[in-house]
Amino acid sequence: MKAEYDVIILGAGAAGLSAGLYTTRAMMKTLILESLGAGGQLLITDEIENYPGFPKGVKGQELSLMMEEQTTRFGAEIEYAEAESVDNLDQPVKVVRTYDKEYTASRLIIATGGSHNKLGVTGEDEYAGRGVSYCAVCDGNFFRGQDVVVVGGGDAAMDESYYLSGIVNSVTVVHRRDELRATKVLQERAFASPKFKWLWSHVVEEFVGNEILESARVRDLKSGEVYEYPTAAAFIYVGFHPNTEYLRGILDMDAAGHIYGDQHMRTNQPGVYICGDARAESTRQLGAAVGDGITAALAAYHDHSA
């Protein structure tokens, strides 16, 4: 049986779009399957200051549109559907299934990235979309001039807190440690802003409200004190998990679900490649995702024509 596509790429984030740019320019018939929106995490990122070539920074959504345009210009097809399962990965013709279709390709590039973690506390699901959010860029504007909370202490938490500080009255960072994990430059920017307040060594135990969120019940880990902290919104940035559940037991992965790839992004199955944030040892940076995508595409091309 001949495969419909030379290569199918799962995920149209930075890694998948970069891979697609290279496979189409190498004249490989390419399909990209995307479950949500092309751009992936770029769509929920405000300003990116460390992607080379943009000395003044670039908005995540703007960059994502440019990447999509560049990739489709060379003929990559993007279809909006979730890859629900894969089959025959050890065979020359690999199968990808969405809820109503089946596609075949001789090469498969996995670029399904990662998604935010939830806190897992009472009220989080109940107030999602009514005060609890995982995307400052999408929802920050609803809370213009109000007091909000950000949970987390890494790069994403500091990046997005800073974005919020330009819109809201105050941003209180709730962090379970007494120091941040975020890059120094992001820390310094936050510490210099009069809009920031800090609840160090605190965790959120519950979200409380009526129709909409009204407060976060927090615990001071040092004193043990539990109290309600009024807030109009809570933006949660407590890490990511790779979107690889559909590949469990099929591709070699670490305990958290990151897929192992060699220096050419080859996985343990022939003709199957991993790139971007879903890859084990990924630095989870945009430039790295782009580089991974390119490497995976070149390996797929090389193996295809060998």
Ligand X SMILES: Cc1cc2nc3c(=O)[nH]c(=O)nc-3n(C[C@H](O)[C@H](O)[C@H](O)COP(=O)(O)OP(=O)(O)OC[C@H]3O[C@@H](n4cnc5c(N)ncnc54)[C@H](O)[C@@H]3O)c2cc1C
Q: Which residues are tagged catalytic?
A: 135, 138-139
Sole window of 108-116, 170-178, 195-203, 258-266 interacting with ligand X (rule: CB under 6 A):
108-116
Q: Look at strands 114-116 and 132-133 and give their pairing.
A: unpaired
Q: Is 108 in the site for ligand X (CB under 6 A)?
A: no
Q: Is 139 in the site for ligand X (CB under 6 A)?
A: no
Q: Is 140 in the site for ligand X (CB under 6 A)?
A: no
Sole window of 11-19, 121-129, 168-176, 256-264 interacting with ligand X (rule: CB under 6 A):
11-19
Helix (H, G, I), strand (E, B) or coil at 165: helix
**Placement of tokens 């806190």 in the chain:** 119
Tell me which residues in 67-96 interact with ligand X (CB under 6 A). 82-83
Q: By C-beta, is 123 or 140 nearer to ligand X?
A: 140
Q: By C-beta, is 31 or 216 nearer to ligand X?
A: 31
- Give the integer Cα–Cα distance in Å for 306 and 150: 51
Among residues 83, 70, 93, the alpha carbon closest in space to that of 9 is found at 83
Q: Give me the 179-218 binding string for ligand X, x by CB under 6 A, dash otherwise.
A: ----------------------------------------
Among residues 240, 303, 286, 226, the alpha carbon closest in space to that of 60 is found at 286
With CB under 6 A, what is the number of residues at the site for ligand X?
Answer: 37
Q: Is 10 in the site for ligand X (CB under 6 A)?
A: yes
**Placement of tokens 């209180």 in the chain:** 172
- Give the integer Cα–Cα distance in Å for 63 and 76: 18
- Among 110, 286, 297, 299, which residue sits at the site for ligand X (rule: CB under 6 A)? 286
**If you count them, how many residues does the chain have?**
306
CA–CA distances in Å: residue 206 to residues 120, 121, 146, 210, 219: 9, 5, 20, 13, 10
- Give the integer Cα–Cα distance in Å for 151 and 236: 5
Q: How far is the CB of 211 from ligand X (least distance, A)?
A: 28
Q: How many other C-beta atoms are found inside a 10 Å radius of the C-beta of residue 45?
A: 23
Q: Which residues bind ligand X (CB under 6 A)?
A: 10-16, 33-36, 40-42, 44-45, 48, 50-51, 82-83, 111-114, 156, 159-160, 243, 246, 276-277, 284-287, 289
